[in-house]
Structure 1
Amino acid sequence: MDWPTTECIVTARLLLEPLSVEHAPSMIEVLAQPSLYDYTGGEIPSLKLLEKRYAAQTVGHSEDGSQWWLNWVVIERDIGKPVGFVQATVEDDGSNLVADIAWVISPDWQGRGIASEAA
């Protein structure tokens, strides 16, 4: 399947930039709080790991083409810094496109409706 490319999205407070490997250094701080991993597992990523992960995700689709991967860095426009990320995995179930949506917002920015606005 030929999936479209991911584009920037601007909301009232946020800029969602399509994920790139160049976001890794600025996302280290966002992903550095251990409490982010209390329920989901995992651990604080190193810069090298994050660069490798982002390189794989920015391909934009699964190897077999059955899934479309949309990944954005969530930037709070007033401060111009990332506060998290939002992602969707889209599949064609034969009659509809179905998406699973996930997000991670820095604990410093949680409780402000950022995840809802980004999603």
Structure 2
Amino acid sequence: VYIRSSDSDRALTSAQAFLAGFYPASGSFEWQRGNHWQPIPVHAASPGEPDLLLKPTSISCKNVDKLVDEEYEKQAKYYDRQYREMFNLIGEQTGIADFSYRYVSQIHDIGREVSQRPM
């Protein structure tokens, strides 16, 4: 069994709990009566080092960045066409000129803000 975790205490503890539940000790491996835990190593990346397996976005890659940007542009064009009328209405209501897909993230929490506003 090989298990890999990030180096955070939270992730290491979760990995150990997972192993204890899925691979309980039994028979001659049960070293204490009633205790079904057995030691299984959990491998973690060195603290401060990027981990390409568990967090591939921790490394900057110009090729990946370019592909992500190209995909974002395709999505933006699609949604701008698909929701043109709604975006025009949102632009009028928010005062954001030429509202488009690019602005959606700027207003996504507005429902929460409005619902918490005193009447």
TM-score, normalization: structure 2? 0.22
Q: Which structure has the larger Rg?
A: 2
More helix by share: 2
Higher relative contact order (CA 8 A, sep 6+): 1
TM-score, normalization: structure 1? 0.22
